[in-house]
Amino acid sequence: MYVKVFTDGAARGNPDGPGGYGAVIQYRDGTGKVYEKELSGGFVRTTNNRMELLAVIKALEALNRPCEIDLYSDSSYVIKAFNEHWIEGWQKANWRKGRPNEVKNIDLWQRLLSVAAPHKITWNWVKGHAGHPENERCDRLATSAADGGNLQLDPGIK
What are the residue numbers of the active site? 8-9, 52, 74, 129, 139
Number of H helices, E strands in the chain: 5, 5
Binding residues: 8, 52, 74, 139
**CA angle (61 as vertex; 135, 55 as ends), nearest 5:** 30
Instruction: Output b/e per residue, 73-89; b: 16+ Cβ within 10 A.
Output: bbbeebbebbeeeebee
Q: What does the DSSP 8-state code read for residue 14? A: S
What residue numbers does the annotated binding site for Mg(2+) cover? 8, 52, 74, 139
- Helices marked H in 16-105: 48-61, 76-83, 86-92
φ, ψ (nearest 5 deg) of residue 135: -65, -40
